[in-house]
Structure 1
Amino acid sequence: MLKINRENLKSSHQLTWFIIDFLMLGLIIINLAFIIWDSVYNFIAIQNALAEHLPALQAAYHPIHENFILYDSMFVAVFLTEFFVRWGYALKAKVYDRWYFYPFIHWYDLIGCIPVGSLRFLRVLRVISIVYRLHQYKIIDVTGTGLYRFVNFYYEAFMEELSDRIVAKVLSGVQHELTLGSSLFEKIQNDILYPRREMLSEWISTRVAEAAQEGYIPNRGALRSYLEARVDHALEQNMELSRLKYLPVVGSTIKDTLEDAVGDIVANVIQQILEDLASSSNHGFIEDIVNAFIRGPGASQNKEERNEALIALIIEIIDAIKVQVRVKRWREQLP
């Protein structure tokens, strides 16, 4: 249900224009109803049916139908008068920089006044403009109406379908250019990635440290036990180490000592690596990796390796974006 906010209407500084808007809105609706009725009456079958069942109505309206242009011109005269009054007010208030801007900006108010059958129905644009203006000033709220929800839903669905097809087409074109050896690769590497390698190093370093802290530190005891068990199992499978137990007197002791030492060394090394990754000291290590992958414009590198690796990565990223673009959000709102 469309409601009028009377408080905003009274407190506004354009009360007179809003009253004119309401009057014009009612007049346009009446005019459109008149045009539709006359278009229906134009059929001979309708005239004959009225003459047979409602002869008084047919006799009263037929002269109006024959002079339809005259009666419609009366409405047009009112519409044009209102248009020129608003134009004069815009000139006086200096709403626009040039005096001739108003008719170009408000072209929809003029085009429906052309007395041609196919253009008369464009007067509905004036209805839309008036309703939009009243809604913009919070005099009325059209978002709660069923008609607005219906039109807005299918408008958003249409725009999403259209934009998705355009975006997918553009992305496919980018992929095709990449496979043909486009200079996009060099632009991405030299103009985008290389100048931001420090930022990438910092971001990757932070993410690695967070992942190591969340995944390793709470479970380092279990991880150490697992590593020692795996090392013990590997050493037991080693034939050379197994032969040590056959040494007289000290064979078993040496074997057990070596197993414990190797297991402890491996566990300590891996533990130290993970602790380093979990701390801020990993930044230098990550920065070296990033610099190895992202080289400057003047760095020499194998052309095929340079192209194939990053091009494949970019194409996969674009494929992922295209998959996401194909998701129809408007369908999720369907009951």
Structure 2
Amino acid sequence: MLKINTENLKKSHQLIWFVIDFTMLGLLIINLAFIIFDSLYAIEVVRDGLTAISPAITDAYRPIHRNFIVYDLIFVGIFLTEFIVRWGYAVKARVYDRWYFYPFIHWYDIVGCIPVGSFRFLRILRVISIVYRLHQYKVIDVTQTRIYQFLNFYYDAFMEELSDRIVIKVLSGAQDEIRKGSPLFERIQNDILFPRREMISDWLSQRVAEAAQEGYVPNRGALRSYLENRVDNALKQNLELSRLKYLPVVGPTIQETLEECVGDIVAHVIHQILEDLASASNHAFIEDIVNVFLPSPDENEEEIRNEALISLVTEILEAVKTQVGVKHWRENLP
């Protein structure tokens, strides 16, 4: 059920306009009901059925039906008056950059006021605009109504079905192009990535240095302690090293010294590697890695590499198509 938030209504400082909105909304509903009833009354079968049920209603409504345009013009006059008042307020408050923008932006209000045939039913657009405006100011919340939830559910279902079919169609087309030998990969590698190897190397070098600085430098003590403990545990489980303690006199000393030396060496090596990565000297190392992944276009085995890449990409697209094909809206069905 639609509830009115009276607190937001008072805080909005536009109470008079919201009163006008609710008044217009009521008149529009009455007018649309009047139009629908008159349209049904014009059908002979409906009129005969109504006469059979209640001849008094038919006789009473007959003169109204003959002068329907007059009664409808009363509503049109009220709607146009409200439109002109809002237009004047928009001009005075400088809501839009030009005074003549208002009727173009609110064209649906004018079209709905045309008292001819099917144009009358376009007044439903004005109902929608008023409801939307009230919802926008949080005076009402249409999302909590059953009508909105019903329509929104099937709208989401329709959009999901439509988007799924479009995505699957696009991915299938991409797979066909890739299987036919699309030059896409060669263009990406030769025309986009390869000319920018130096830029990619610089960027990766900077990112690796930042990651090492932020992740390693503040925790170097904890990392060294961890490495020494892990190396110490590994050495104690080594059978050859454990036999040293059986040597007379010097055995335990040699074993302990080796454990300390190995632990210190490992920690020092890891420390030096991370120190190098955290400095500008990592550029050459990163550049070598980039050159491995982005070799020169004229190197051998490019065809084998492309076939493997094509197979990998098509399998990835197939997995994406399978996931896209899942109908999530069905999970919300009762």
Q: Structure 1-normalised TM-score?
A: 0.69
Question: What's the counterpart of residue 188 of structure 1?
Answer: 188
SS in 1 for 2:153: helix
Can you list the C-alpha shifts for 1:231-283, whole angstroms capped at 9, x where unaligned?
A: xxxxxxxxxxxxxxxxxxxxxxxxxxxxxxxxxxxxxxxxx9xx98xx96998
Question: What's the counterpart of residue 329 of structure 2?
Answer: 330
The one-letter amino acid paired with 2:176 is H
Q: CA deviation at 1:171?
A: 2.3
Question: What's the counterpart of residue 309 of structure 1?
Answer: 308
Question: What's the counterpart of residue 293 of structure 1?
Answer: 293
Q: CA deviation at 1:61?
A: 0.4
Q: CA deviation at 1:187?
A: 4.5
Matches within 5 A, 1:246-257: none
The one-letter amino acid paired with 2:308 is A
Q: CA deviation at 1:157?
A: 1.3
Gaps of 5+ in 2: 212-222, 240-265
User: Is the 2:204–2:286 Cα contact (8 Å) retained in structure 1?
Assistant: no
Q: CA deviation at 1:178?
A: 2.9
Question: What's the counterpart of residue 266 of structure 1?
Answer: none
Question: What's the counterpart of residue 233 of structure 1?
Answer: none
Measure the CA separation in 1 of the matches of 2:22 and 2:29: 11
Go from structure 1 to structure 2 and tell me whether the alpha carbon gap of 1:173 and 1:105 turns closer, same or farther (over 3 Å shift): farther
Question: What's the counterpart of residue 37 of structure 2?
Answer: 37
SS in 1 for 2:4: coil
Question: What's the counterpart of residue 74 of structure 1?
Answer: 74
Measure the CA separation in 2 of the matches of 1:80 and 1:309: 69
Matches within 5 A, 1:97-176: 97-176=97-176
User: Is the 1:197–1:294 Cα contact (8 Å) retained in structure 2?
Assistant: no
Question: What's the counterpart of residue 247 of structure 1?
Answer: none
Measure the CA separation in 2 of the matches of 1:3 and 1:33: 22
Measure the CA separation in 1 of the matches of 2:159 and 2:201: 38
Can you list the C-alpha shifts for 1:18-52, whole angstroms capped at 9, x where unaligned?
A: 11110010011001111111121112122223333
The one-letter amino acid paired with 2:298 is S
Can you list the C-alpha shifts for 1:260-319, whole angstroms capped at 9, x where unaligned?
A: xxxxxxxxxxxx9xx98xx96998889755532333xx5423452353232332222222
Q: How many residues get paired? A: 281
SS in 1 for 2:17: helix
User: Is the 1:111–1:119 Cα contact (8 Å) retained in structure 2?
Assistant: yes
Go from structure 1 to structure 2 and tell me whether the alpha carbon gap of 1:50 and 1:129 turns closer, same or farther (over 3 Å shift): same
Go from structure 1 to structure 2 and tell me whether the alpha carbon gap of 1:84 and 1:170 turns closer, same or farther (over 3 Å shift): farther
Measure the CA separation in 1 of the matches of 2:203 and 2:322: 28
User: Is the 2:2–2:142 Cα contact (8 Å) retained in structure 1?
Assistant: yes
Structure 1 position 321 matched with structure 2 position 320: yes
User: Is the 2:175–2:317 Cα contact (8 Å) retained in structure 1?
Assistant: yes
Measure the CA separation in 1 of the matches of 2:4 and 2:65: 36
Measure the CA separation in 2 of the matches of 1:133 and 1:163: 29
User: Is the 1:31–1:75 Cα contact (8 Å) retained in structure 2?
Assistant: yes
Measure the CA separation in 2 of the matches of 1:74 and 1:99: 27
Q: CA deviation at 1:136?
A: 0.7
Measure the CA separation in 2 of the matches of 1:196 and 1:160: 38
Go from structure 1 to structure 2 and tell me whether the alpha carbon gap of 1:299 and 1:188 turns closer, same or farther (over 3 Å shift): closer
Gaps of 5+ in 1: 207-212, 229-271
Question: What's the counterpart of residue 3 of structure 2?
Answer: 3
Question: What's the counterpart of residue 246 of structure 1?
Answer: none
Q: CA deviation at 1:115?
A: 2.5
Go from structure 1 to structure 2 and tell me whether the alpha carbon gap of 1:176 and 1:101 turns closer, same or farther (over 3 Å shift): farther
User: Is the 1:112–1:119 Cα contact (8 Å) retained in structure 2?
Assistant: yes
Measure the CA separation in 2 of the matches of 1:219 and 1:38: 89
SS in 2 for 1:300: coil
The one-letter amino acid paired with 2:192 is D
Go from structure 1 to structure 2 and tell me whether the alpha carbon gap of 1:126 and 1:4 turns closer, same or farther (over 3 Å shift): same
What CA RMSD, in Å, does the superposition of the two structures yield over aligned residues? 3.8
Regions of 4+ moved over 4 Å: 192-203, 217-221, 279-290
Measure the CA separation in 1 of the matches of 2:317 and 2:274: 33
Question: What's the counterpart of residue 214 of structure 2?
Answer: none
Question: What's the counterpart of residue 14 of structure 2?
Answer: 14
